[in-house]
Structure 1
């Protein structure tokens, strides 16, 4: 017995894809760098220190006196000796004038004139302490600094970006089909 048969034939569809990849280009140009640092303004004012050393008295202790000082001292000593001599002669004259009061003024005057004065032996430290005078006035330094700001003219460059999008092309390589047939 012949039974009818159903026969089906199908063909699958085939799709073809043509892909063009996207292209992306990125470039980063270097920044334009322009930095300047002006010098700081520096002002300095100084007052000099003063040191004075007076050795006049120390030199005088060593008998190294100036001619002016030596002349002054000799004049003063001479005046004192002259005054002492006048006073001594006045006293001797008064004693001779009062000879009637007794005593022997002429013999005592002669014995006083004939004696040499005793000289003393002393130890003297030369120069004497405190004979050198030192005076010091310290100096002063005034420093003023005026800072200068940095001049920044730098420029950042934007990136260069080129983008070509990709493409996809779709095409049917094989159309689908279906064939139905009866076999008897």
Structure 2
């Protein structure tokens, strides 16, 4: 006896996948930033230097004296000359009072008063440098600085995010198929 035979014919299913990738776009706008730097306060005070040159003594040695100095010296010299004149007159009066003590006081006084006195001229034509007095006080500089902090105003912006999710599309390109046939054995005519 022969057994019927099964004949199976199958077609595999085919799936088609279409993918759209996800998209992510991020943008970060810059923050609005304002910075203001106020100027520092600066105060500068200067005490000027002082240079003092006193040439008075050097000029006096060259006989180039100020008029007030000349007047003062002339007054002093006049006072001394008056005092000497008074002393000389008193001495001559004493000599004349003692005229009886032999001698000729009138002739000796006339001779003394008629003598020429030598005038002394200055011999210094260039004063020494030590006669010029120089004094210098340096200047003083005072700087006061008051710094100021910067004024910063910042306004941040949120990031801009655009997200498109991905997608997967599944298509059936070919459906599965299974065909089963039964094949019966052929009967032989021999019986």
How many residue pairs match? The answer is 183
TM-score, structure 2 as length reference: 0.74
Please list the CA deviations of residues 100-124 of structure 1 after superposition, one character each: whole Å capped at 9, or x if unmatched: 6666655544443343233456621
Q: For residues 40 and 166 of structure 1, do their structure 2 counterparts lie closer, same or farther at Cα, with a shift above 3 Å needed?
A: same
User: Are 2:30 and 2:157, in contact at CA under 8 Å, matched by a contact in 1?
Assistant: yes
Q: Distance in 1 between matches of 2:77 and 2:121?
A: 21
Q: Distance in 2 between matches of 1:75 and 1:53?
A: 28
* Partner residue in 2 for 1:16: 16
* Partner residue in 1 for 2:152: 152
Q: Secondary structure at the match of 1:68?
A: helix
Q: Which moved more, 1:33-42 or 1:92-101?
A: 92-101
* Partner residue in 1 for 2:70: 70
Q: Secondary structure at the match of 1:87?
A: helix
Q: Give the unaligned 5+ runs of structure 2.
A: 186-191
Q: Which moved more, 1:54-63 or 1:150-159?
A: 54-63
User: Are 1:61 and 1:128, in contact at CA under 8 Å, matched by a contact in 2?
Assistant: no
Q: Distance in 1 between matches of 2:40 and 2:70?
A: 60
RMSD between aligned residues: 3.1
Q: Which moved more, 1:148-157 or 1:91-100?
A: 91-100
TM-score, structure 1 as length reference: 0.77
Equivalence map 1:161-180=2 (5 Å): 161-180=161-180
* Partner residue in 2 for 1:49: 49
Shift of 1:36: 0.8
Q: Secondary structure at the match of 1:34?
A: strand
- Of structures 1 and 2, the larger Rg is shown by 2
User: Are 1:47 and 1:140, in contact at CA under 8 Å, matched by a contact in 2?
Assistant: yes
Q: Give the unaligned 5+ runs of structure 1.
A: none
Q: Distance in 2 between matches of 1:120 and 1:64?
A: 17
* Partner residue in 1 for 2:113: 113
User: Are 2:62 and 2:125, in contact at CA under 8 Å, matched by a contact in 1?
Assistant: no
* Partner residue in 2 for 1:35: 35
* Partner residue in 2 for 1:25: 25
Q: Distance in 2 between matches of 1:179 and 1:129?
A: 139
Q: Distance in 1 between matches of 2:64 and 2:43?
A: 47
